[in-house]
Amino acid sequence: MKLPLRAKPAADTAASPIAPPPRRRRRKEWMNRPERSTTTAIKFIVWVALRLGRRAARLLLYPICLYFVLFSRKPRRASALFLSKALGRAPGFGDLFRHYHVFAACLLDRVFFLNDQSDDFDIRVHGEDIVIDLMERGEGCLLLGAHMGSFEAIRMLGHRQRDLRVSLVMYEENARKINSVLNAINPLLSMEVIGLGRPDSMLRVRERLDQGHFVGMLADRTLDGEEEVRLPFLGQPAGFALGPFQLAAMLKRPVVLMVGLYQGGRCYDVHFERIADFSDVPVQERPGLVRWAAGRFADRLEHYAQSSPYNWFNFYDFWK
């Protein structure tokens, strides 16, 4: 059975809100932002979480978040900009602190998800039938997420769907950092990360898809020189990458959106949504479907950004 969402080839692209990217771009702001946390610091947090437990580790989040709200000027300004658009009002100090705290809480919980300690969490899955259908087809899919909530919450689903296999794709520098952290949590996890930019990267992605894997990547940021489109997002155009959808078209795979939204305490809501299916799309229709799929991704991301605004973890000017 094919996924039902299909776009008709765009015949009226001139009237579309999608605008072509400029030929020359400034370096992306999120790439210019230095990382405040080092691998050593992350490993220390992992140690505290696994040795002292979640309750004790969460107590550390309050002074940490207060420090960053007070002294991280540019991220705080970006948080205020985003929250003003998502909430429809000027955010107060409590909103900014909550934004930072949700981010920190999700980072902490990732330690437990990655260490297969998810039994104590209350995780509600919406759209699980989509996952089951794709697993039964055995074709694999591209699972697109964003810097929103916890992408690692999908590991909990692996306890209920034992045949579910997920591989993560990210750029090489990030892959090295993530593998270092994963080794600190659970050495068995490091081989699940595929670094882009290597000669064999696409071959490994295709191989995993052929094996029925869900190949996950975060699709809400773009790199210098990467083809993008400007799409409406919370009332203002923002750049979205076409690469993930072009990859799905080239490999003839379905695309599914996944977000794991933190709801406080030990509660998460995990949502799966069909975006598009490139399994049987004629070559001449692919560009239209690629752009339509990017637009649908941006539209659904906007929906979740408004419904769960404190789960948005792009602490830079997303529209710049």
pLDDT at 198: 74
Closest to 316 measured CA to CA, from 72, 21, 43, 11: 72
Instruction: Give the pLDDT of residue 180.
Output: 65
Checking if the pLDDT of 86 tops 60, the result is: yes
Domain boundaries, the chain: 39-307
Each residue's pLDDT tens digit, 224-252: 677 899 999 999 999 999 999 999 999 99
Question: CA-CA distance, 201 to 32, in Å (whole number)?
Answer: 25
pLDDT band at residue 90, thresholds of 50, 70 and 90?
Answer: very high
pLDDT given at position 316:
94
Q: Can you tell me the distance from the alpha carbon of 64 to that of 233, in angstroms, rounded to the nearest whole number?
A: 30
Half-sphere exposure of 65 (CA within 13 A, CB side): 22
Give the DSSP H/E element, type plus range, for residue 185.
helix 172-185
Cβ-in-10-Å burial (0-12, 13-18, 19+) of 223 comes to middle
Residue 16 backbone dihedrals phi, psi, to 5 degrees: -75, 150
Q: What is the pLDDT of residue 257?
A: 97
pLDDT for the residue numbered 32: 52
Is the whole model's pTM more than 0.85, yes or no?
no
Confidence of residue 120 (pLDDT cuts 50, 70, 90): confident
At 267, which helix (H) or strand (E)? strand 267-277
In this prediction, residue 219 has a pLDDT band, given cuts at 50, 70 and 90, of very high
| pLDDT tens-digit series, residues 62-85 | 998 999 999 999 999 999 999 999
Does residue 164 have a pLDDT over 70? yes
Angle at the Cα of 303 from the Cα atoms of 300 and 306, rounded to 5 degrees: 150
Taking all residues of the chain, what is their mean pLDDT, rounded to a whole number? 82
CA angle 228, 85, 73 (to 5 degrees): 85
CA separation for the pair 113, 61 (Å, rounded):
18
* 265 DSSP assignment: T
